A and B are shown apart, each in its own frame.
Chain A
Amino acid sequence: MRAWTCASISEGAAPLNSFLTSKWTKAALFLLCLVPLGDLVWRGLHDEMGADPVTFITHRTGEWTLRFLVLTLAISPLRKIPRLSLLIRFRRMLGLFAFFYVCLHFTTWIWLDHSFAWAEMWKDIHKRPYITVGFTGFVLLIPLALTATRGWIRRLGGRRWQMLHRAIYAAAIAGVVHYYWLVKSDVRRPLAYAFLVTILLAWRLGHGIERLRKRISAGPVPGKKGSATA
Chain B
Amino acid sequence: MLVQRKPDLTYADVTPKRLYMGRRNFLLGLLATSGAVAGWRKLPEWLAGRGTGSVPVPLEGVVKWPGSTSEPETPIEKTTHWNNFYEFGTDKTDPAVNARNFQVSPWSISVEGEVAKPRTFTMEEILKLAPLEERIYRHRCVEAWSIVVPWIGFPLNVLAKLVEPTSKARFVAFQSFYDSRQMLSSGQAGIEFPYVEGLRLDEALHPLALLCVGMYGETLPNQDGAPVRMVIPWKYGFKSIKSIVKIRFVKYQPQTSWNLENPREYGFYSNVNPHVDHPRWSQATERRIGPGLGLFNRRIPTLMFNGYGDQVASMYAGMDLRKYF
Contacts and interface: CB of A to CB of B under 8 A. Distances in A.
Interface stretch (B5-13, B112-120, B292-300): B292-300
B261 interface: yes
Interface residues of B, number: 32
Contact of B287 (A52, A129, A186): A52
Contact of B295 (A51, A54, A114, A185): A54
Nearest to A115: B298
Interface string B68-88: 000000100011011000100
A52 B86 contact: no
Given A50-B82, A185-B190, A114 B299 contact: yes
A188 interface: yes
Given A186-B189, A186-B190, A181 B293 contact: no
Interface residues of A, number: 29
A54 B147 CA distance: 15
A57 to B, nearest CB: 8
Contact of A185 (B82, B90, B145, B294): B90
B280 A53 contact: no
Interface in A60-99: none
Nearest to B293: A47
Interface in B148-191: 188-191
Contacts of A187: 190
B299 A51 contact: no
A113 B289 CA distance: 13
Interface string B287-325: 101000111111100000000000000000000000000
Interface string A110-135: 00111101001000100011100000
A186 B280 contact: no
A182 interface: yes
A181 B86 CA distance: 19
A39 B184 CA distance: 29
B322 to A, nearest CB: 16
Given A112-B295, A114-B299, A186-B189, A52 B90 contact: no
Interface of B: 37, 41, 74, 78-79, 81-82, 86, 90, 92-93, 143, 145, 147, 188-191, 261-262, 280-282, 287, 289, 293-299
